[in-house]
Structure 1
Amino acid sequence: MSNPPTEFYSEERWQNWIDRIKDEEIDPEDESSARLLLNLQDDTAIAIAKIVAAYDDGQLDDEEALAEIADVREIVLSEVDVEDEEKLILVDGVQTSLVCVFFAAEEYVAGGPAEEGSIADYLGAAADAEAEEELDAALGYAAQAGTLIIDGNDLDIAIAEELEYGLVTEWINGLDSLQSAMSDPEVVEEDE
């Protein structure tokens, strides 16, 4: 059994991404700007995928895995020091997308993958709950969909196109990053 990495993610790593966003002209319509934001999101999802993989391989027990997830969540969801209002909104969007990734990973470690239902079922239920303004329930359903993604089921991103834009579609965006990370947990190079 190999030893797990001593650090899955660091504050410095997150800050490097934030500094890049601060330094660059960001236009969400521009492909390189969109890619920078997606890389920021994917990089975090990869860290979570690696924690879950280390847990699945028995390198971390559930308490250690949950603590590692909590550490990454604390770094990524903390308030960001960006003065540019537009950039702040974009980073906030990435943070919102990742909320579901953290919950899905915690749910997976604590209770395994959802027993019944498909990813589409859970995301449909999440969208219904969001429409009723039951946001905790919506997040719970979206996280269940995430446990299935971690377990190897495929998310059809077209689901998001059928839903009204809102938190659930943001979370699906994060789950899509998680799915990519689970299938190819290669580190996103910060200087790409």
Structure 2
Amino acid sequence: MSSAEEEAYSEERWQNWLSRLEDEELDPEDEDSARLLLNLQDDVAIAVAKIVTDYDDDEIEQEDALEELADIREVVLAEPDIEDEETLMLVDGVQTSLVAVFYSAEQYVGDGVADEASVEEYVQAAAGAEADEDFDRALGLAACAGTRIIDGDDLDMSVTEDLEYGLVTEWVNGLDSLQSALAQPEVIEDDE
């Protein structure tokens, strides 16, 4: 079975991660908890990167790639059934970071690479839009930065140093996971 015929990311896989998070005593200050959350985020980013790579390699058609991305987005961004408030909040942070990953991949497959600015310029513009409370525009600009990352441009995380913490910094965190996934698409086992 080729990678194009396999399901890119299953609901079962996502639920396994959520169950594992519920079983852990998550503490965002704890290195193991932080690593577990980052592994969850990276795992999804790897699935997205594989779809984009398969699309670039002509292993799947545009329509199929967009459908697979939409399927993963639906699974990952659904309201999780988690009792613990703190765990729910931490998962919500991961979901927020992944929003830009999905929109970047969908924009890349659907419309190609945004070429009017650099990754850093798009991130700065997104931060400006967020400051103006134009969140749709901010997300669109973050997705433009993401298309450039998918196309091979580098995201230097120092771009966030002067940004006020908010949606854009969360989204850039997700784009960093996407950049890592594109560079090293190693599957992270959800039982590690």
Name stretches of at least 5 consecutive residues in structure 2 with no aligned partner. none
Return the offset for 1:14. 0.2
Q: Structure 2: how far apart are the matches of 1:3 and 1:113?
A: 24
2:42 is matched with 42
Q: Distance in 2 between matches of 1:74 and 1:190?
A: 19
Alignment of 1:108-187 (within 5 A): 108-187=108-187
Amino acid in the other structure paired with 2:161: E
- Residue ranges of structure 1 left out of the alignment (5+ in a row): none
Whole-angstrom distance in 2 between the partners of 1:171 and 1:15: 22
Q: Tell me the distance in 2 between the aligned counterparts of 1:5 and 1:123.
A: 35
Aligned to 1:74: 74
Tell me the CA shift for residue 110 of structure 1: 0.8
TM-aligned CA deviation for residue 191 of structure 1: 2.2
Aligned residue-pair number: 191
SS at match of 1:162: coil
* Alignment partners' CA distance in 2, 1:84 and 1:166: 23
Output the CA distance in 2 between the equivalents of 1:122 and 1:29: 30
Identical amino acids, percent of aligned pairs: 66
Quote the Cα distance in structure 1 between the aligned partners of 2:77 and 2:154.
Answer: 26
Q: Which runs of 4+ in 1 moved over 2 A?
A: none
Q: Distance in 2 between matches of 1:189 and 1:73?
A: 20
- Seen in structure 2, the aligned counterparts of structure 1 residues 127 and 12 have a Cα distance that, compared at 3 Å, is same
Which whole-Å CA distance do the structure 1 matches of 2:5 and 2:150 have between them? 20
CA distance, structure 2, for counterparts of residue 88 and residue 21 of structure 1: 9
Q: Which residue matches 1:189?
A: 189
Q: CA–CA distance in 2 between the matches of 1:57 and 1:35?
A: 31
Matched residues in 2 for 1:71 and 1:37: separation? Answer: 21
Deviation at 1:3, TM superposition (A): 5.6
- TM-score normalized by structure 2? 0.98
Taking structure 1 as the reference length, the TM-score comes to: 0.98
How large is the RMSD of aligned CA atoms in angstroms?
A: 0.9
* Structure 1 residue 116 displacement after superposition: 2.1
